[in-house]
Amino acid sequence: MIIAERKPIKEIEKMIMPYKKVLIVGCNTCVTICMAGGEKEVDILASSLNLLFKSKHKEIEFIKRVVERQCEKEFVEELKEDIASVEAVLSLGCGVGVQKIVEVFPHIPVYPGLNTKSIGAPEEEGVWKEKCVACGDCILDKTGGICPIARCSKKLLNGPCGGSQDGKCEIDKNLDCAWQLIYDRLKLLGKLDQLEEIIPVRDWSKANDGGPREVIREDVRLKNGK
């Protein structure tokens, strides 16, 4: 899932300051799970902004909506009437959601209310952790199912740096050393010999360095492809 976190309210305040009527749009998918942009968070943000502007003797009217998936056109289109009645949109979706609203409604300003942090998972109540950076060329088969690109702070591919101590990363004592985890897992599987293989340099063109990526399945396309 996508993990996100609300932006500081002061930052949001600056974005919507010029408007009188704003639509706040949450998303029922990932950002609901990570408690950043679901129905509750839309309510909380609207209420916080009401209090903030009240104290500044300014009034902005908020319309609150939550769509099923902000990253899909069909769901975003449901906002048509609401959008016609406001001057701006504040999205509590991930970065994809913001851009999808922009694509469907190009004429209206859309602002991000969240910082999109990572692709990850809920670790425990109230904790979400990054697990994948969508590098486009998975090597989890070589690293015991633990990704060093996402989880080693230096993205090292051939073992831990000299700062790995007691299973923790040198940059933060609360952060697990990915290579310690990899070592432990391969040991558990009796496959420590896998560590001897030198993982070659990466093809970052398969990651975002190659420009925005797309996946195409011709068999399911309705429009004609190339």
Partner 1 sequence: MEFEPEIVIFCCQYCTEAADTAGASHLGYPANIKLMELPCSGKISIIYLLKAFEEGADGVCVIGCEEGACHFLRGNLRAKKVVEYTQKILEEIGINKERLKMFNLSSLESQKFVQISKEITEKIRELGPIF
Partner 2 sequence: MESNLKKVLEKGEFAVTVELGPPKDSRRGIIERKGELLKDYADAINVTDNQTAIVRMSSIAACAILKQMGIEPVMQMVCRDRNRIAMQSDIFGAYALGVKNILCLSGDHQKFGNHPTSKGVFDIDSTQLIQMVKKMRDEGEVLGGDKIKEPPHLLFIGAAANPFADPFEFRAIRLAKKIRAGANFIQTQAVFNVEKFKEWMKMVRDKGLDKKVYILAGIIPIKSARMAAYMKEEVAGLNVPQEIVDRMKGAADAKKEGMRISLEIIEQMKSIKGVHGIHIMAVGWEKIVPSIVDDAGLFPRPKFT
Please report whether residue 121 would count as binding partner 1 according to CB under 8 A.
no
Bridge partners, residue 112, by sequence: 91
Please report whether residue 44 would count as binding partner 1 according to CB under 8 A.
yes
Q: How far is the CB of 1 from partner 2 (least distance, A)?
A: 25
Question: What Rg value do the Cα atoms of the chain yield, rounded?
Answer: 22
Interface segment toward partner 2; rule CB under 8 A; list 31-39, 76-84, 121-129, 197-205: 197-205
Any idea what DSSP says for residue 126? T
Total residues in contact with partner 1, by rule CB under 8 A? 14
Please report whether residue 15 would count as binding partner 2 according to CB under 8 A.
no
97: phi then psi, degrees, rounded to nearest 5: -60, -45
Helix axes 9-16, 39-55, angle to 10 degrees: 70
d(CA 220, CA 38): 31
* Whether the Cβ atoms of residue 5 and residue 41 lie closer than 8 Å to each other: no
Indicate the length of the chain as a whole number: 226
d(CA 163, CA 169): 6
CB burial of residue 73 (10 Å; 0-12, 13-18, 19+): exposed
d(CA 170, CA 175): 8
d(CA 3, CA 117): 5
Bridge partners, residue 156, by sequence: none
Interface segment toward partner 2; rule CB under 8 A; list 55-63, 112-120, 147-155, 218-226: 147-155
Please report whether residue 14 would count as binding partner 1 according to CB under 8 A.
no
Tokens encoding 127: 């904790």
Please report whether residue 15 would count as binding partner 1 according to CB under 8 A.
no
Mask of contacts with partner 1, 58-87, x by CB under 8 A?
A: ------------------------------
Select from 132, 159, 176, 185 the one that contacts partner 2 (CB under 8 A): 159
Interface segment toward partner 1; rule CB under 8 A; list 43-51, 142-150, 156-164, 195-203: 43-51
Select from 14, 21, 40, 187 the one that contacts partner 1 (CB under 8 A): 40
Select from 140, 161, 188, 189 the one that contacts partner 2 (CB under 8 A): 161
Q: How far is the CB of 21 from partner 1 (least distance, A)?
A: 18
Nearer to partner 1, 13 or 184 (CB): 13
- Site residues, partner 2 (CB under 8 A): 153-167, 170-171, 177, 179-180, 183-184, 192, 195-196, 198, 200-202, 204
